Amino acid sequence: MLIVTYNFMNNCIFTPSKLPARMKRYSLILILTISAISQVYAQPFVSVNSGLPGVGRGAVAFADFDNDGDLDLILSGQDNTYSPFSAVYRNDAGQFVGVESGIAPLENCAMAVADFDLDGLQDVVITGVDFDGSKTLLYRNTGNLLFVLVPAGFYNAGAGGDLAWADYNNDGYPDLVISGNWQTHLYTNNGDGTFSPDEAGLVGMNTPALAWGDFDNDGDPDLLMSGDAGSVGEVYIYINQDGDFFRLEAQIEGAVGGDARWGDFDNDGNLDILITGKDASLTPVSYVYRNNGDNTFSFANAGLVGTALGPADWIDYDNDGDLDVMVAGQNAGCGNAATRLYENNGAGSFYEFPAGLAYAERAASAWGDFDNDGDYDLVLTGISTGHTTRLYRNDLITGSFQPNTPPTAPGNLYTYVSGDYAVISWARSTDAQSPQNSITYNVMMGTSPGSIDVISPMSDPATGHRYMTAAGNAGQNDFMVFRNLEPGTYYFRVQAIDQAFAGSAFSDEGSFAVLGTHTTDQPLQMPELLLQHGIIMVNYLPVSRGEAYLIGPEGRIVETRHFAGNNFEMSVRDLTPGLYVIRLLAEGKQWTWKFVK
């Protein structure tokens, strides 16, 4: 019996030479159909002869390190001599040129980019190993692609560790979490170039994957951890409650030796989860979990092939306004490996797109529009027949796909200040490709007009051009919270970031003043909240008057109420179902509760 097969990954058709007449006709129809499909999906990703050295067991990132309007590249890992390697490459009109950066070589590493000192230049932290042992190295970008080592005293996570930046305490400075070798450490950025350890009680993990994201839309980043916590393949989600962390008991399957990422694939305004790695039987798996908006998650039958020992990325590669998926690494079965790109069909699942990407294990990836043509390109590193680094140019816009366009700038800026506590908010933007709920927001703030000495936006304030491929620092919220602000006047602007990570122009500038009101550092008495018969009741308030904010499932303030006296009531009978936050502010103090309608 004759079997005709088509390999979409390699664009190959296999047919025997002798066929019965009927099967010849069927085969011809099949071949013509496949040819038509191949023409529609002509190779969208073109391998570029970049001259970049082959690297495996490493990390790679795009960032505009010299603020010249195009994305540069940092590459770290094991080279083809099995030695540690690190290098920075300047983007010269789409050509990558190696520079003397001052960054030391590491392998079996992870890296993260952020402007930790708020000087407008993107800095780098790398954790991994060299011939002398485990190291975690923080580098300050001094300009012109030169980096200086900062003696931060971070935990050395060793081979297979991970780290991630986020401003977990809402003071404007990026903080850092590091995990690996059965320990996890959180470091608070002191704002003076130093960091202090925070005893956050986070679980220790081996071979972890870390990601920050405000999955409950309450204005502060929560932490996703996947890895080996003593029982192979566990997921921990920590809810950030005003800088304290509490584990959410969620029914999510974990994995080791893979990746974990937040992303809103269904455009409902809630961050979903992508998990890859190996399960308890050491079989590669790939899972997507949908955020239900009430602190629970549901398994989404995404149809992804199980993948381990490589990256998992959310990326809108086709500029249609929803997040697609790329996974790279090892698959089930001896010697099987692949890099797969999945297109989001907009109905809750994915189908594989024949992108023609090379396979790699011990892989790493970075997406960024290195040629500034309006779509996202790919750098893929790893080990296949040897150590490899591939640069793929996304040429989808040469077909039926169009370049992405940025969102509109946010407007209607609003501020609220109580003591050293402040909230800024804005009207949501719109975008031609991305639904409104999927847009994230990015804030810049300083102590003088146009400055960024309180929050760095990692964007060009004049043009909105993004210095890196990432969501905005406010997430999908249309507000941002600040705590422990020093007395003075603060100036801020906001930009919108779409699903393809393109930034709008910044908004007009807003401002607010913080007076020298003292807020006690002593623990506050916690009032009592009750929900009965559709009525929120707060009793035993130790203040006489203040304001109450009801924040809806999309992170927007849906009702503001002034209160006087030691008790407060609010009807919630007419609210739509979902997770809500109620926040009371009075005399420099605040209380926050969450409830499900």
10 Å CB burial of residue 32 (0-12, 13-18, 19+) is: exposed
Instruction: Tokens 């955020």: give the residue.
Output: 291
Per-residue pLDDT tens digits for 235-261: 999 999 989 999 999 999 999 999 999
One domain for residues 243 and 321: yes
Domain assignment present for residue 387? The answer is yes
- 509 and 536 share one domain: no
Tokens of 263: 């992303």
Taking a C-beta distance cutoff of 8 angstroms, is the pair 457, 122 a contact? Answer: no
Residue 113 belongs to a domain: yes
* Residues 470 and 378 reside in one and the same domain: no
Domain boundary, last residue among 514, 542, 559? 514
Do residues 106 and 130 touch, judged by C-beta distance below 8 A? yes
> Which residue, 461, 487, 514, sits at the end of a domain?
514
CA gap 217, 429 in Å, rounded: 17
What's the start-to-end Cα distance of the chain, in Å? 61
The residues, any chain, with a CB within 8 Å of residue 18's CB and separated by 6 or more, are none
What domain range is 238 assigned to? Answer: 65-394
Give me the number of domains the chain comprises. 3
Residue 202 lies in a domain: yes
Same domain, 267 and 353: yes
pLDDT band at 335 (very low <50, low <70, confident <90, very high): confident
Task: Looking at the structure, tell me whether residues 268 and 343 fall in a common domain.
Answer: yes
CA distance 513 to 517: 11
Q: Hey, what are 209's tokens?
A: 């994957």
Q: Which tokens is 336 given?
A: 């099987």
Residue 100 lies in a domain: yes
**Beta-strand (E) ranges in 254-385?**
256-263, 272-278, 284-291, 297-300, 312-315, 324-330, 337-344, 350-353, 361-368, 377-383
**Exposed (0-12), middle (13-18) or buried (19+): which is 576, by Cβ within 10 Å?**
exposed
Whether 403 maps to a domain, the answer reads no
Give residue-wise pLDDT tens across range 16-52. 333 344 444 444 444 344 344 444 445 689 999 999 9
Considering the domain boundaries, does residue 4 fall inside one? no
**Are 544 and 490 in the same domain?**
no
pLDDT single digits (tens) 527-574: 777 777 677 877 777 666 777 888 887 767 788 877 776 777 788 888
* Nearest Cα residue to 167 out of 406, 464, 484, 427: 484
pLDDT in tens, 122-164: 999 999 999 999 999 999 999 999 999 999 999 999 999 999 9
Cβ-count burial of 401 within 10 angstroms (0-12 exposed, 13-18 middle, 19+ buried)? middle
- On whether residue 182 sits in a domain, the answer given is yes
Q: Are residues 439 and 290 part of one domain?
A: no
Q: Is 218 helix (H, G, I), strand (E, B) or coil?
A: coil
User: Is residue 464 located within the same domain as residue 505?
Assistant: yes
Burial group, residue 104, by CB count within 10 angstroms (0-12, 13-18, 19+): middle
This prediction's pTM: 0.81
Q: Which residues pair with 475 in a beta bridge?
A: none
- Tokens 């908004």 appear where? 507
For residue 177, how many C-alpha atoms fall within 13 Å in the half-sphere facing its CB? 27
- CATH number of the domain where residue 124 is located: 2.130.10.130
Looking up residue 435, the CATH number of its domain turns out to be 2.60.40.10
Residue 396's closest CA among 62, 7, 42?
42
Q: Which pair of structure tokens corresponds to residue 132?
A: 């002398």
What is the DSSP secondary structure assignment for residue 358, as one 8-state letter? P
Q: How far is CA 418 from the centre of its chain?
A: 31
Q: Give me the pLDDT at residue 28, please.
A: 42
Looking at 394, 427, 444, the residue that finishes a domain is 394
Planar angle of CA 436, 225, 470, nearest 5 degrees: 35
Does residue 21 sit within a domain?
no
Together in a domain, 301 and 419: no
- Rounded to 5 degrees, φ, ψ at 489 are -105, 135
Report percent pLDDT > 90 for the chain: 70
Quick one: 71 and 143 in the same domain? yes
How does residue 3 score in pLDDT terms, banded at 50, 70 and 90? Answer: very low
Looking at residue 7, its pLDDT comes to 33
